[in-house]
Chain A
Amino acid sequence: MAAAIGVPGAKWKGVMLDKSSEVLNGVATSPSPEKTIGILGAEIYDGNRDKVAALAFQAFKQKHAYYPDSTATSFDKRNVRDGHYTIWSPTVYLAPVDAQGTVTNPRVRYLVDMVLSKTVAPAPEFDPLDVVISKGLVPDCAMAVTRSFEGGDLSLYSAPEPCGCFFESRVGQPSATCKTCGGDGECGGGKCRHGFCEAK
């Protein structure tokens, strides 16, 4: 957030709260709600929209402000995915890796690969991607933009194994261009992923 608005974290005024629950409660119970702003992960906000409301954000050189979702009341994270809402950052997991960047501990690797929606063996009895989406997060495979550092400029992005249509089906209505499938043969050269045709 500090990077997005160009104000170093050390220059911020206000109250530092460590827990999302504390931020949520602090904003929701503020005696001066019109003067109170908090910063919260969207996955927390989404479960507490009855208590607080999101502000639209307008980035530098942006002509309008936007919510993370396409409307104030939707949950589709469309503006995050396509770059209209710029205040996001990757969730980072730390693990020991080898020279090739592969997580060395097999159990940790299994877990990380599951969260990354890579194919793992044995296959879990659930769809890990579905779990990630259900928690209010946006998986990398659903993003159409990326950035190389926190607060940096956005650039177009095409995930190696895209899942945009599946994501949309879980948070609302899939786009009109999305087509359900049962196999790659139904996707005209594309790939059938999580029940939807994707470009690759």
Chain B
Amino acid sequence: MNTQYVLKGLFVLVLLTSACGEENPPANPSGNSSSSGAGGGGGAGGSGGGGPECFSEPTSHVEIINACTEAEKVDKVVNLPLLNADGSLPPLP
């Protein structure tokens, strides 16, 4: 018996539509997150850090996930109360 990779499936996180505004642009009056379209900059969210805004010829994993794109971007403002000062997280309970 062996395995055969056939298709790429995928999973998405889903949230009730009635909770719109938090993630579903363009409605975002609370500023909890924001979205931008093609070329939209906005502040780098969370773990983005420094470096170029995007990569036009990506090769590595980090460059691929940060490749230049016209896709809609969502900038999250995260609140991690248990985050340690050095950026690490406490052990899982």
Chain A residues packing against B (C-beta within 8 Å): 1, 7-8, 11, 23-24, 27-28, 30, 33-34, 36-43, 45, 49-68, 70-72, 77-80, 82-97, 101, 103, 112, 115-116, 132, 137-140, 143, 145, 153-156
Known: A65-B76, A72-B24, A91-B7. A60 touches B47 (CB 8 A): yes
Candidates A54, A64, A145; contact of B14 at CB < 8 Å: A54
Tell me the bound Cα distance from A55 to B47 in angstroms: 17
User: What is the 8 Å Cβ interface bit string for chain B, positions 1-28, against chain A (1 contact, 0 not)?
Assistant: 1111111111111111111101111000
B83 within 8 A of A: no
Q: Is the interface of A mostly helix, strand, loop or mixed?
A: mixed
Which residues 51-69 of B have a CB within 8 angstroms of A? 53-54, 58-62, 64-67, 69
Given A58-B76, A83-B64, do A68 and B12 touch, yes or no (CB 8 Å)?
yes
Tell whether, in the assembled complex, residue A55 and residue B15 are in contact, meaning their CB atoms are under 8 Å apart: yes
Cα(A104)–Cα(B38), bound, Å: 49
CB-CB under 8 A from B10, the residues of chain A are 41-42, 68, 77, 80, 85, 87-89, 138
Query: Is B86 part of the binding interface, using a Cβ–Cβ cutoff of 8 Å?
Result: no
Complex Cα–Cα for A72 and B37 (A): 11
User: 7 tightest CB-CB pairs across the interface, nearest first?
Assistant: A88-B10, A33-B16, A63-B48, A153-B61, A56-B74, A64-B73, A55-B13
Q: How far is the CA of A197 from the CA of B80 in the complex (A)?
A: 48
A56 CB to nearest chain B CB (Å)? 4
Chain A residue with minimal CB distance to B51? Answer: A63
A71-B71, A72-B72 known; A154+B9 contact, CB < 8 A: no
Q: Is the CB of B17 within 8 A of A50?
A: yes
Chain B residue total in the interface (Cβ 8 A): 55
CB distance from A15 to the nearest CB of B (A): 14
Within 8 Å CB of B15, what residues of A?
Answer: 27, 33, 36-38, 52-55
Partner of A139, one of B7, B23, B62: B7
A195 to B71, CA, bound (A): 26
CB distance from B2 to the nearest CB of A (A): 4
Contacts of B9 in A (CB 8 A): 41, 43, 88-91, 137-138
CA distance A24 to B72 in the complex (A): 25
B7 x A55 contact (CB < 8 A): no
